[in-house]
Amino acid sequence: MQLSKQQAEQRTDQVYDVLVVGGGPAGLSAGIYLQRYLLSTLIVDKGKARSLWMQEMHNYLGLPPDSSGRDLLKQGKAHYLSLDGDYLNAFVEEATDEGETFALRVRIGRNNPSYVTLRSRYLIAASGIIDNLPTFTDMQNVYDYAGYNLHVCLICDGYEMQGQRVGVFGRNEGSLEVAFSLGWFTSDITLFTGGAFDVSDGFRDRLRTHGYRLEERPLHRFVGENHIMSGVELRDGTLIPLDAGLVSMGSKYHADYLNGIDLEYKGGNLVTDGMNRTSHPRIFAVGDLKVGLNQVIVAAADGALAATQIWRDIRRQEGSRAPAKQSAA
Amino acid sequence: MQLSKQQAEQRTDQVYDVLVVGGGPAGLSAGIYLQRYLLSTLIVDKGKARSLWMQEMHNYLGLPPDSSGRDLLKQGKAHYLSLDGDYLNAFVEEATDEGETFALRVRIGRNNPSYVTLRSRYLIAASGIIDNLPTFTDMQNVYDYAGYNLHVCLICDGYEMQGQRVGVFGRNEGSLEVAFSLGWFTSDITLFTGGAFDVSDGFRDRLRTHGYRLEERPLHRFVGENHIMSGVELRDGTLIPLDAGLVSMGSKYHADYLNGIDLEYKGGNLVTDGMNRTSHPRIFAVGDLKVGLNQVIVAAADGALAATQIWRDIRRQEGSRAPAKQSAA
């Protein structure tokens, strides 16, 4: 059930089998599998899943190619709730390993927040990442286009950028490397530094070889209408027309609550085994937070794998959760 | 496009980037990703995907829990064809590694079949498995219930079997081990050997400990109506009432066409790396054919991973497939 603050406070004396941090595709898929394994589950979601940006998911098997991330999450949440899983809108501040259980300190509400501590035997980190965006004075100008034709994922949207005039927005030379992969789909590429960093002579040579442009002047804003970005206006007033943008400015990893637990990372991503178990035997990581391909369909499979392994673990310990035996016929 | 026999014959002088053997969830997901990576793809499908049995997929994120496997495949195939992928109804008899390319000998049609040889740079084995079923004199009697409440997948349908009277149909003692996992969901379990094999004293002791019954008399047929099996009739006329069945008789692996190529297997499954590459650098395996969890959502992710790795490979070799550059604005 969808838990109110009061209901969450009543859950503080129980131990869930699994707490799932994050109600995106990975967390919801895990929750669906867990509940179907008869494991008690609570998903804690802070909102703002990366997939909420996705106006159209073009590559998710089983859904029409104009399905939105929002619709996927809505369907997945209803599915999970229909299996009697608990769901709480809240922010996980800190996870503590108590040995047999984890204690999660959770903040509910933004203004006048209240705090509860919830416990579980296993933890699934499905809290994902969020892409850094260009920082303009008017951030609404950025949000107007992000997820429409201001893309953050080459794999997801390269196909749509075929032959288009595409601007790549980076935060350092390394982040601009994506332009060479984008070159698979289009050769009309302009790289924007916003004047925020310098690039090496070697990099400039490579751009020249590929025929890509480098624009180092500071940026002012995107132009366009109805969520369709049609170019970038520089601070000096120059307008650079574009058909699409690709933001490659790194990501924020939503994993601060794990800081007190020793886990193996690679970059910002959690290292996991084939069933998505981290270096901690009772913590799993799924979706964008783990090392791997950041795709919705992969995140959904991640959730299934983690849930299945947790079921195997608990089943080996407990044996059965069958209802009391009926009289034999 | 959906290829006719004549159109397939016209494709014999081209080299596809990727041939995908099997149009189930893994193959279709791969095809969708491949076409979106601008890689030319042909899916060869013989029909009879395992997922066609699935009357209701209860655990696929994004789809209502009463969605059928058939509907998923239909949507996926339409999605793939909308991206201009080629699709051929045919049976792959043999794959030959020619060094730079694979040659696939393909049989089209059942009566008066014709044969064509099609070529590709990469091969994705997505041809899956099919579950062995009890062999009764009247096989239609088995097909009437398989995929309804005669299940083949504990992970998929354990939840539905909670507290039910479930019959487990095995082909040897090892295959009956699934009963102890089924015990998570129900304690009313009858194991059927059909009189076809013996079980050890140690196994009998374990069954007694768990309170499971062992039925060793030969089976005659399932009873029930409207695809809902309500019990098993033994050859001696005894009727054993059941609410559901779980078939655990192993699987047939659809991989004969790979016999001429040296690949690493584990049991009948192909061994792959994290991106689903087999021990052959240009052959990938996805879905039930590879080592891993046999779940539709995992198969769909498998396809995405294999397609992405093949794109990376080809992109590194070729650099670009961008359309001719437009005049700069």
The verdict on B243 touching A (C-beta cutoff 8 Å) is: no
What pLDDT score was predicted for residue A32? 98
**Considering only alpha carbons, which residue of chain B is nearest residue A180?**
B319
Structure-token pair, residue A82: 């229909």
What pLDDT score was predicted for residue A40? 98
Contacts of A40 in chain B (CB under 8 A): none
The complex scores an ipTM of 0.96
Round to whole Å and give the CA distance between B11 and B106.
Answer: 12
Contacts of A79 in chain B (CB under 8 A): 61, 64-65
- Mean of pLDDT over chain B: 95
Structure-token pair, residue A126: 């499905």
Q: What is the mean pLDDT of residues B137-163?
A: 95
What pLDDT score was predicted for residue B61? 97
Round to whole Å and give the CA distance between B300 and A21.
Answer: 24
Q: Which residues of chain A have pLDDT under 50?
A: 328-329
Contacts of B60 in chain A (CB under 8 A): 62
CB atoms A301 and B303 under 8 Å: no
Measured CA distances, B237 to A98, B194, B222 (Å) = 58, 14, 12
The verdict on B64 touching A (C-beta cutoff 8 Å) is: yes
The verdict on A303 touching B (C-beta cutoff 8 Å) is: yes
Chain B closest-CA separation from residue A77 CA (Å): 9
Boundaries of CATH 3.50.50.60 in chain A? 5-130+251-318, 133-248
The verdict on B323 touching A (C-beta cutoff 8 Å) is: yes
pLDDT band at B329 (very low <50, low <70, confident <90, very high): very low
What pLDDT score was predicted for residue A329? 45
The verdict on A246 touching B (C-beta cutoff 8 Å) is: no
Nearest CB neighbour to A320, from listed B183, B300, B303: B183
CB atoms B79 and A67 under 8 Å: no
Contacts with B177 (C-beta within 8 Å, 6 or more apart), sequence order: none
What pLDDT score was predicted for residue A78? 98
Kindly report, residue by residue over A274-300, the tens digit of the pLDDT.
Answer: 999 999 999 999 999 999 999 999 999
The answer to whether residue B100 scores a pLDDT higher than 80 is yes
Chain B closest-CA separation from residue A87 CA (Å): 16
The verdict on A284 touching B (C-beta cutoff 8 Å) is: no
pLDDT band at B51 (very low <50, low <70, confident <90, very high): confident
Round to whole Å and give the CA distance between A1 and A321.
Answer: 21
The answer to whether residue B325 scores a pLDDT higher than 70 is no
Round to whole Å and give the CA distance between B291 and B269.
Answer: 5
Domain topology for A133-248: FAD/NAD(P)-binding domain (3.50.50)
Rounded (to 5) percent helix, strand, coil in chain B: 30, 30, 40
Measured CA distances, B17 to A19, A123, B39, B100, B101 (Å) = 43, 42, 6, 11, 9
CB atoms A38 and B185 under 8 Å: yes
Contacts with B248 (C-beta within 8 Å, 6 or more apart), sequence order: B152, B168, B169, B170, B171, B175, B176, B178
Nearest CB neighbour to B297, from listed A29, A241, A325: A29
Chain A closest-CA separation from residue B324 CA (Å): 7
Could you tell me how many CB contacts below 8 A there are between chain A and chain B? 177
Contacts of B328 in chain A (CB under 8 A): 165, 188
Nearest CB neighbour to A32, from listed B59, B319, B321: B59
Look up the pTM and report it: 0.96
Kindly report, residue by residue over A56-115, the tens digit of the pLDDT.
Answer: 899 999 999 999 999 999 999 999 999 999 999 999 999 999 999 999 999 999 889 999
CB atoms A59 and B303 under 8 Å: no
- CATH architecture entry for A5-130+251-318: 3-Layer(bba) Sandwich (3.50)
The answer to whether residue B327 scores a pLDDT higher than 70 is no
The answer to whether residue B197 scores a pLDDT higher than 90 is yes
What pLDDT score was predicted for residue A202? 98
**Considering only alpha carbons, which residue of chain A is nearest residue B274?**
A274
Test the B interface: residue of A56, A57, A61 with most B CBs within 10 Å: A61
Contacts of B315 in chain A (CB under 8 A): 181, 184
